[in-house]
Structure 1
Amino acid sequence: MNGRTDGIMDSLRDDLKGFFKPRMLFTAMGLAGALWLGSGVYMVGPSEQGVVRRFGKEYALTGSGLRYHLPWPIESRDVVDVARVRRVEIGFQTEMGRVKVIEAEALMLTGDENIVSCQLFVQYVIKDPAAFVFRARDPEQVLRTAAEVALRSAAGRNTIDFTMTDGRFQVQEQIKEQLQRLLDAYQTGLLVTEARLLEVDPPQAVQDAFHDVVRAWEDRERLLQEARGFTEDIVPRSRGEAAEMVLKAEAYKEQRVIRAQGEAKRFLEVAAAYAASPVVTRERLYLEVMERILPNAEKIVLPSQSAGSVLPWLPLRALQAPAAASTSPQVKGVTP
C-alpha cells in the first residue's frame, strides 16, 4: 500500500514540475524585460540637462523632469549640472583649508625677464552640455592646461611692476579672454565666469626687495596725486589773485585819473579867480591852508603883556625824530 502511495506522489510531483517550469521561465523573462524597459526612466534636476546617446552618438538634449530613453545598449544618457559653478586652481592647491604652493605651475617669466610667482583662481560653468560630453575627451583637463597657458602668456606680455601693481586687473582680463578663446577653439562647452589672480609675488629669496620697490612706487603715486591736487588748487587761486590785482589796479588808475582831473579843474578855477581878484583869492588860500595846518599843531596862547618877555625857539631834536617828521614844528616860549 505504501509503495503504491509513493508512486502516486512521485507521479504528481513530476506533473507539477512539468506544469510550473515553463510558467516560471516566462515569468522570469517577463520580469527581466520589464526591468530592461524600465531602465530607460531617469530624472533630470532643475539645474541639469540630459544628453541622450543613441548607439554611442549624440541624439538629443532633455530638460528637467522625469524622462525616458530606450534601454541600453540602444540608448544611454549623461545628466550634466549646468548651474553648478566649478573651480580650478593654478599655482596652488587647497588641502584641508591650507594652501600649498605648486612652484612648477606658479613661477612665471615676465616681459621684462623677471621671475614672478602667480596663483590663479578660475571659476567656470558648463554652457554647452553636448559639447562638454562629446567634443573634448577631458574638458576639465583641457581647461586646466589652457588656464596655465593663458597665465604664462599674460605674464610674458607685461612687466613685473605692471602685473604686481596698477595692471593687475588688466592682466586678469587678458587671462580670462585668452582662456575663453582657447576653450571655444577646443569645443569644451565651458564658460569662464571669473579669472582672479590671488597672489602675484616675486620669489621668496627676493621678496623683501620687491616689496620695497612696490612701496616706493606707491609713495611715488601718492606724491603725484598730491602734486596734481596742489596744482589744481593753486592755479585757479593764482588766476583769481591775478584778476583781483588787475581789478584793483584798474580801480586805482580810475581813482587817480579822476582825482587828477578834479585837482586840475580846481586849479584852473583858482587861477581864474586869482586873475579876477588877486588879493581876495590870496587871503582865501591863506585861510584854507591855516585851516588844514592849525588843527594838528600844538598851540600856546600868551597874554599880550608878556609878549616881549618870551623868546621863541625851535625843538631841533624833536624835528629829527622819525615820529615827528610829518608834523609841523612846535613853537614854545622860554622866559629869559
Structure 2
Amino acid sequence: MDQFRPREDPNPVRDLQRGVEDFRALMDRFLKGRGLFFFILILFLVYLASGIYIVGPGEKGVVLMFGEVHSITDPGLRYRLPKPFMSHTVVDIAKVRRAEIGFRSDRNRTRTVPVESLMLTGDENIVDVQLFVQYLVQDPVKFLFGADAPENALKTSAEVALRGVVGENTIDHTMTEGRLEIQQKVETYLQRLLDSYNTGLKVTQARLLVVDPPAQVQEAFHDVVRAWEDRERLIKEAEGFREDVIPKARGQAQQTIREAEAYKAQRVIRAKGDAERFTTVLREYVKSPSVTRERLYLETAEQFLPGTKKYIMENGSSRVLPVLPLTPPSAAMMQSSPADQEKSTEKKGN
C-alpha cells in the first residue's frame, strides 16, 4: 500500500546539504592513508608543468624573473619556473607590420584622413601627402619595456618626420623630382626618432603613396606636373640624339685624320724613294754619262710607249731596209682594217 502513501515535498536546501555530506564522506575515505600525498603531488606536477611554453618560428621569448628581464629564448619548446617566480612574453620579430599616415584602408576601401595628410611645404603651400610605413620588431626587450605603446609612438613619429621633411622643400620639388629624396629623408628621420624613444622597432620601408595639392587646385598643379614631365622627356630625347650624333662625328673626324696621316706618310715615303733613286742615278751618271743617258732614254720610251713592239737600231746605221719588213705579214693583216682586207681580197680575185 506504499504507493498510496503521500510523497514528501522536495526541498532544495536539504538536497544540497545531503550532497555536500556525501562528497565529504567520499573525500574522507579517499584522503585516508596515502591519498592526500598523491593528490598534493599531482597538484605540484601540474604547477610545474605550467612553466612549459612554445616559441614559434620567427619569434623570440622574453623571460622575466620577478618582473626583471632574465633571458631571451629562441624558437622551440622552452621551460621557465612557474608564476610568480617567472613569466614570459612571446614577440613576433619576423612579422612585417604596417602603419598608415594620412589614410586608412578598410578591406577594399580607402579613406583619407585630412588631419594627418594636409601639411605645409617650405614655400607656404598646402599639400596632401599619404605615407605608408613598413617595420619590424628589432629588439623585443625594448619593444616590450622601452616605450609605452611603441606602435602608437611610431605613427606619431612618422607624422612628425613627414611634416618636418615636407616643410623643408617647395611644393614643386615635393611633387616632382624630390619625391624619392623625401622618402629617404623621412625613413632616416623616423628611424632616428624610434631609436631615441627606445621602441625597438626598425623601419624597412617608407613610401609616399600620394603627393597632391588640395582638391580645389589639384587640376592646375597636375598641368604643371605634366609640363615638367614633357620637359624632362624632351631633354632626354635631345640627350639621346646628342649621344648618337657626337660619337659618329668623332668617328668620322678620326677616320679623316687617319686617312690624311696615311696619305702624308705615303707621300713622304714616295718622295724619299724618288730622292734616293735620283741620287743613285746621279752617281751612275757621273761614272758613265753616255750609258746612263741611253738607259734613261730607253726607260722613258718604255714608259711613254707601253704595249708596243720596239726595234733598236745600232748607232751609225741610217738604213731601215735591211730589217724590213718590221711586222710579219700575218700581224700586218691582223692590224689592218676590215675595209683594207676586203680590198686586198678583191685584188687577189681579179
**Category of TM-score, reference length = shorter chain:** 0.5 to 0.7
Q: Which residue of 2 aligns with 1:124?
A: 135
SS in structure 2 of the partner of residue 89 of structure 1: strand
Mapping of residues 202-213 of structure 1, within 5 Å:
202-213=213-224
> Which whole-Å CA distance do the structure 1 matches of 2:136 and 2:180 have between them?
22
Matched, 1:20 2:30: yes
Measured at CA, do residues 14 and 78 of structure 1 come closer, stay the same or move farther in structure 2, by a change above 3 Å? closer
Q: Show CA shifts across 1:219-239 (max 9, x none).
A: 121222233344445556667
Measured at CA, do residues 128 and 209 of structure 1 come closer, stay the same or move farther in structure 2, by a change above 3 Å? same
Measured at CA, do residues 112 and 30 of structure 1 come closer, stay the same or move farther in structure 2, by a change above 3 Å? same
Return the offset for 1:246.
9.8
Q: Which residue of 1 aligns with 2:55?
A: 44
Question: Do the aligned residues in 2 keep the contact of 1:53 with 1:59 (CA within 8 Å)?
Answer: yes
> Which whole-Å CA distance do the structure 2 matches of 1:66 and 1:126 have between them?
22
Amino acid at match of 1:217: W
> Which whole-Å CA distance do the structure 2 matches of 1:53 and 1:122 have between them?
31
Q: Which residue of 1 aligns with 2:181?
A: 170
Alignment match of 1:76 (pick from 79, 87, 92): 87
Q: Which residue of 1 aligns with 2:340?
A: none
> Which whole-Å CA distance do the structure 2 matches of 1:143 and 1:193 have between them?
13
> Which whole-Å CA distance do the structure 1 matches of 2:233 and 2:162 have between them?
30
> Which whole-Å CA distance do the structure 2 matches of 1:248 and 1:14 have between them?
122
SS in structure 2 of the partner of residue 147 of structure 1: helix
Of 75-84 and 21-30, more deviation after overlay is shown by 21-30
Matched, 1:114 2:125: yes
Mapping of residues 129-144 of structure 1, within 5 Å:
129-144=140-155
Measured at CA, do residues 54 and 14 of structure 1 come closer, stay the same or move farther in structure 2, by a change above 3 Å? closer
Amino acid at match of 1:99: T
SS in structure 1 of the partner of residue 167 of structure 2: helix
Measured at CA, do residues 52 and 245 of structure 1 come closer, stay the same or move farther in structure 2, by a change above 3 Å? closer
> Which whole-Å CA distance do the structure 1 matches of 2:203 and 2:143 have between them?
14
> Which whole-Å CA distance do the structure 2 matches of 1:50 and 1:126 have between them?
13
With the length of structure 1 as denominator, give the TM-score of the two structures: 0.64
> Which whole-Å CA distance do the structure 1 matches of 2:84 and 2:148 have between them?
21
SS in structure 1 of the partner of residue 95 of structure 2: coil
Return the offset for 1:240.
7.4
> Which whole-Å CA distance do the structure 2 matches of 1:207 and 1:142 have between them?
32
SS in structure 2 of the partner of residue 125 of structure 1: strand
Matched, 1:31 2:31: no
Amino acid at match of 1:88: A
> Which whole-Å CA distance do the structure 2 matches of 1:247 and 1:15 have between them?
121
Measured at CA, do residues 21 and 235 of structure 1 come closer, stay the same or move farther in structure 2, by a change above 3 Å? closer
Measured at CA, do residues 231 and 52 of structure 1 come closer, stay the same or move farther in structure 2, by a change above 3 Å? same
Mapping of residues 315-334 of structure 1, within 5 Å:
none
Amino acid at match of 2:211: V
Matched, 1:196 2:207: yes
> Which whole-Å CA distance do the structure 1 matches of 2:138 and 2:50 have between them?
28
> Which whole-Å CA distance do the structure 1 matches of 2:234 and 2:28 have between them?
104
Amino acid at match of 1:135: G
Question: Do the aligned residues in 2 keep the contact of 1:58 with 1:134 (CA within 8 Å)?
Answer: no
Question: Do the aligned residues in 2 keep the contact of 1:117 with 1:199 (CA within 8 Å)?
Answer: yes
Q: Show CA shifts across 1:68-112 (max 9, x none).
A: 111111110000111111111100000121101000000111111
Question: How many matched pairs?
Answer: 240
Amino acid at match of 1:168: R
Matched, 1:54 2:28: no
Mapping of residues 301-316 of structure 1, within 5 Å:
none
Percent identity (aligned): 55
SS in structure 2 of the partner of residue 157 of structure 1: coil
> Which whole-Å CA distance do the structure 2 matches of 1:222 and 1:194 have between them?
29
Measured at CA, do residues 29 and 208 of structure 1 come closer, stay the same or move farther in structure 2, by a change above 3 Å? same
> Which whole-Å CA distance do the structure 2 matches of 1:147 and 1:189 have between them?
15
Return the offset for 1:247.
11
Return the offset for 1:154.
1.2
Return the offset for 1:218.
1.0
With the length of structure 2 as denominator, give the TM-score of the two structures: 0.62
Q: Which residue of 2 aligns with 1:299?
A: none
Gaps of 5+ in 2: 1-22, 264-350
Measured at CA, do residues 75 and 249 of structure 1 come closer, stay the same or move farther in structure 2, by a change above 3 Å? closer
> Which whole-Å CA distance do the structure 1 matches of 2:127 and 2:181 have between them?
17
Return the offset for 1:214.
0.4
> Which whole-Å CA distance do the structure 1 matches of 2:140 and 2:62 have between them?
7
